[in-house]
Structure 1
């Protein structure tokens, strides 16, 4: 037994110790696995460090280390001697800060801008937090009630009429324009012998159409005359509008059987409008009027960007659905609209909306300069949103709509409840990218004499009290930080929404 030898596959000595594994966690592991794990990454890391050294370090030195923080005029931001360097002139920002925020808004009325900002933040934050309840009510207040309240807060003034008077005046103005146009065509047809008969027929048709519309509007005109003859025309108009709208919603929702909820919602809505009108004194002239020519700075930037983003979404959705429609007229109109607005630069759109749009409105009907720019930007952005949304609609399988049809859902319910929510979820990055681009493009409104944040900044440079070599760079650095904060915030929130909506697709 002592001569027994172990089999050859049995090891006779201990296995030597292996080297310790390379650390892959912590700061050292990050450097080893991400930055210096290959020759190419080593070169890229060194290049990135050099880029940061030659860009970030001078920027920090200019903005913080060598910056001037106190002073009353340009002398505080001038170098004492040629061999000394002076950084950012922050006293210039402090002196012009209120102008950057409010523009030329009267100082005594700036509380109205602060209140508008506070209301917008108070209504927007609950919409951005998913766990908070009452999203439908909050959305209605933010997208419907807030714009009306903000208009009377920022612009001021009161109401001379409500729904009935406003609608009667608008329709009558358009009808008068149609009749005047027809009469001018009839007169002009006598001077053009070649196509005179065609122009005469078109003019006569417009005149007859205007006469027919006049008789159709007679009940509305009669009601408006009765309202104007009452003791309090505004409240009489308000009551008539509330009654007409509530009854229409009641009958459209099903009448006696299922229309009571719509009637109650309509009456509660008009009750809320009544309270707001009474509190703001809109029947007594309201707040002092501040024309939009006095608006400026961050106020104009936020108004143009928010209104453009909110108004362009329904326009884009309607155009995207219209471009996929099976009705040729709707599809051709949507394609022509999208291609036209995407084929012209935004500057052209702003010039057209500012100087040409008043030529197409009825006689006696005026549109404010800021409102013209808002209309142009909303239509321009809507054309781009339409193509983004159409890409999301094409990503939805046809079986989704077929399954909804099999369940008996109409086209409207299928689109609103099944197809469109999935399509919008797919195109969140594209939509937010368009929002960010629109927010930055608001600086173009300064071309049509609207002083946004950059426009006010350029106007502030003309002040000789703060004319220094570093004032220009300080101002652009300040506005750049503001633009970056808003754009970065939109980008990060869109990533949060994407992760939350796509949580069910994670493995």
Structure 2
């Protein structure tokens, strides 16, 4: 009886076993290496081979890079310094960067006016910040509205009334959209908001700006587009095309899905024609042929023509990316908008486009990155982008024969810009919970 009673009593722990550290192979770096680098014999062999390749590459690159010369006035002087130091292998002549960095960044912009593009870049950063990060005060959007006109005035100079007269045209378009819908309808207000400002810019903006300048002359030294170059040129063309191509691409995507025959076919023809021809051909068109289709008294600056053509080219690709996002939405989203009694533009603005753009974020950012890198193609039409300036620097007898140092610096700068866009894209995707869980 006592044995049966003893067996029926459950064991109750009186004290807890103290915590112990996991085995050394199950934590920290050793665990990560075992799971990722040496999880099998094949992975172990590949790891060893990879480490050897990395060592071989670094053993040849690091001495050339780290042991480079930064203080010299020519390539021949770099070689003399290297020989005097007793170095028996080639080293980088980084002195070309310290000697010509200002040209690579600003082109032939007057050095005493470098503060103007720097200030324009700061203003652009302040303008784009509330658009990229919603936690910032919405009052900063005032800077976003004024930044394009202020940046243009700082970069090119001249009368302050010119950008103000151009900005007034956007005010006219906003007024037509806001107050003209009751008289013209939604579609009529949109068409009027496009046509009326364009006519104003073509025929009235110039005289209005000139009259205001004659009445109250305010301005700064004017700089021609032929003095722009380097990364400043690439940033101006790239940023302008990115900012302008996104809304134009969205409109083209909506037009391609429109039930209106003319709008649909015009959008399809535009997208297919633009996408079917390489960008370099369109740049030559902007450089050589565009003036033939303009009135004799109208002359567009080459840089402006390039911005227009690059914008149109990018908008065609953005349109297809956005159209893919629209096609990915289930039909129920459109039916839900109809059940709420929303008209076409309200449904697109409040329900359809936010979801489509969220889906299209990777494609849109990839297009922007490719567009920014393609700005180097303007070298073929005579604009001195960083690649064009590197050729001009190497044409100087002092730096004739230098290659890798310039290209490495240019590639590093492009990588910083493109990597920043890529990281922001990934952060935005995580923030909006895009993708499948």
Range of TM-score over shorter length: 0.7 to 0.9
Where do 1:445-460 residues align within 5 Å? 445-460=378-393
Gap runs ≥5 in structure 2: 2-21, 184-208
SS in 2 for 1:284: coil
**Cα pair distance change 1:362/1:339, threshold 3 Å:** same
How far is the alpha carbon of 1:475 from its aligned partner? 0.7
Counterpart residue number, 2:151: 150
Residues matched between the structures, number: 388
Kept after mapping to 2: 8 A contact 1:436/1:487: yes
Counterpart residue number, 1:406: 339
How far is the alpha carbon of 1:434 from its aligned partner? 0.8
Where do 1:14-413 residues align within 5 Å? 23-64=25-66, 66-78=67-79, 79-80=82-83, 84-134=88-138, 137-139=139-141, 141-142=143-144, 144-158=145-159, 251-252=179-180, 283-284=216-217, 286-413=219-346
Kept after mapping to 2: 8 A contact 1:77/1:86: no
* Counterpart Cα distance in 2 of 1:116 and 1:408: 45
* Counterpart Cα distance in 1 of 2:160 and 2:87: 63
How far is the alpha carbon of 1:51 from its aligned partner? 3.2
* Counterpart Cα distance in 2 of 1:47 and 1:431: 38
Counterpart residue number, 1:474: 405
**Cα pair distance change 1:56/1:384, threshold 3 Å:** farther
* Counterpart Cα distance in 2 of 1:298 and 1:243: 32
SS in 2 for 1:466: coil
- What does the per-residue CA deviation read over 1:36-84, in whole Å, with 9 as the maximum and x for residues that have no partner? 10233223323332332233443333221x2112223334411417971
- What does the per-residue CA deviation read over 1:86-110, in whole Å, with 9 as the maximum and x for residues that have no partner? 3221211011011111101112222
* Structure possessing the higher radius of gyration over alpha carbons: 1
Deviates more, 1:450-459 or 1:49-58: 49-58
**Cα pair distance change 1:418/1:121, threshold 3 Å:** same
**Cα pair distance change 1:450/1:140, threshold 3 Å:** farther
- What does the per-residue CA deviation read over 1:11-56, in whole Å, with 9 as the maximum and x for residues that have no partner? xxxxxxxxx9672331111110011102332233233323322334
Kept after mapping to 1: 8 A contact 2:152/2:163: no
Kept after mapping to 1: 8 A contact 2:328/2:356: yes
**Cα pair distance change 1:52/1:339, threshold 3 Å:** same
Q: What is the TM-score when the length of structure 1 is the normalising length?
A: 0.70
RMSD: 3.1
Kept after mapping to 1: 8 A contact 2:149/2:164: no
Deviates more, 1:50-59 or 1:105-114: 50-59
SS in 2 for 1:23: helix
- What does the per-residue CA deviation read over 1:477-499, in whole Å, with 9 as the maximum and x for residues that have no partner? 11111111111111111110000
* Counterpart Cα distance in 2 of 1:242 and 1:306: 19
- What does the per-residue CA deviation read over 1:211-253, in whole Å, with 9 as the maximum and x for residues that have no partner? xxxxxxxxxxxxxxxxxxxxxxxxxx97xx8997797577437
* Counterpart Cα distance in 2 of 1:161 and 1:488: 36
Q: What is the TM-score when the length of structure 2 is the normalising length?
A: 0.81
Kept after mapping to 2: 8 A contact 1:68/1:86: no
- What does the per-residue CA deviation read over 1:260-291, in whole Å, with 9 as the maximum and x for residues that have no partner? xxxxxxxxxxxxxxxxx9xx989416112211
* Counterpart Cα distance in 2 of 1:244 and 1:439: 32
Kept after mapping to 2: 8 A contact 1:381/1:438: yes
* Counterpart Cα distance in 1 of 2:44 and 2:170: 72
Kept after mapping to 1: 8 A contact 2:153/2:163: no
Gap runs ≥5 in structure 1: 2-19, 167-236, 256-276
